[in-house]
Chain A
């Protein structure tokens, strides 16, 4: 029987080595491609007819679009419109990666911390660059809380800097931990079903409930990632 952690194993599908660097096409790469393709197909085929009165599929695409657009408008403001494509892409990719990972025999890309950390790192570096370009050296005033006495500065500024640097770590860890914990739990309960034989019905019921919860978590984590990106972007654009 497969262990609960075997689902996270990376398997090389097409070995590629470029100058001593292992750049093989793995199952993780495959499911990233699948996620991107699924998003593209979902949106382009959904919007192909461009009806005035949208059908089911078209209104799904439009609802997601409006949901993210509203989120960006509310949390970043009007200046945030320029960054809408990025946040929308991020949201759709994470959402589809999470949801595709819930299909049996598939692989959850977002359950690997290096993937989520790369996403969070792009957000962090991008947001910091935007803030530096927009505000120049004034950006560093962000680390000084309002009305700080000069005496307290050597203590408070490093704390603020650490809490700023912890952002990408938090962002990456949250998505990774949620996905990994949920999938491991599902597999553990699936193991119980086989071990208990006839009485395996009980853990089976639990699995159904857990699966519903996992669907919620998949949606929620994509939302949380996108909304935190919007909040960080808001801070970068307005500083306070």
Chain B
């Protein structure tokens, strides 16, 4: 735990100054702890290290299969709507496969999580900037 600051002694000339500074320092410290914990690093690491072996395999398999199934389903629906069987079905099957591979890469944390999302390093850098800006204000 953080060490408690000793209360300012009553004989100090400016009683207001030290207390506010104290508070500021403590806030800064607390914010530092918060911002270092922030971001998805903790979450992602927990997810990956918590599930080893079979769990990870199941997870990745599901990621792949569901994207392919959704792609195929969209193609099938569009086909039966537009009457272009089986062309959209084939097209969307491959699209779904691509989405599945994308999902696997995202699940394993090789690339950033969402489309256009920043990677973890950039994210933590941005977080640091934001917290620095907040501190200045």
Footprint of B on A, CB under 8 Å? 71, 74-75, 77, 142-146, 158-160, 162-163, 165-166, 169-170, 173-174, 177-178, 181, 217, 220, 224, 227, 230-231, 235, 240
CB neighbours of B99 from chain A (8 A): 159-160, 162-163, 166
Report the number of A-B residue pairs with Cβ-Cβ less than 8 Å. Answer: 92
Nearest-neighbour CB distance to chain B for A180, whole angstroms, equals 11
Nearest-neighbour CB distance to chain A for B111, whole angstroms, equals 10
Across the interface, do B66 and A166 meet the contact criterion of CB distance under 8 Å?
yes
| Known A-B contacts A159-B98, A163-B67, A169-B69; A240 and B116 likewise in contact (beta carbons under 8 Å) | yes
| Known A-B contacts A144-B115, A162-B92, A162-B99; A74 and B43 likewise in contact (beta carbons under 8 Å) | yes
CB neighbours of B98 from chain A (8 A): 159
Across the interface, do B67 and A162 meet the contact criterion of CB distance under 8 Å?
yes
Q: How many of B's residues come within 8 Å of A, CB to CB?
A: 36
Footprint of A on B, CB under 8 Å? 37-40, 42-43, 46-47, 50-51, 55, 58-59, 62-63, 65-67, 69-71, 74, 92, 95-96, 98-100, 102-103, 113-118
| Known A-B contacts A74-B43, A160-B115, A231-B43; A178 and B58 likewise in contact (beta carbons under 8 Å) | yes
CB neighbours of B96 from chain A (8 A): 162, 166
| Known A-B contacts A74-B38, A174-B59, A220-B51; A166 and B43 likewise in contact (beta carbons under 8 Å) | no
Tell which of B50, B62, B74, B113 touches A170, judged by Cβ atoms closer than 8 Å.
B62
Across the interface, do B116 and A145 meet the contact criterion of CB distance under 8 Å?
yes
CB neighbours of A146 from chain B (8 A): 115-116
CB neighbours of A75 from chain B (8 A): 40, 43
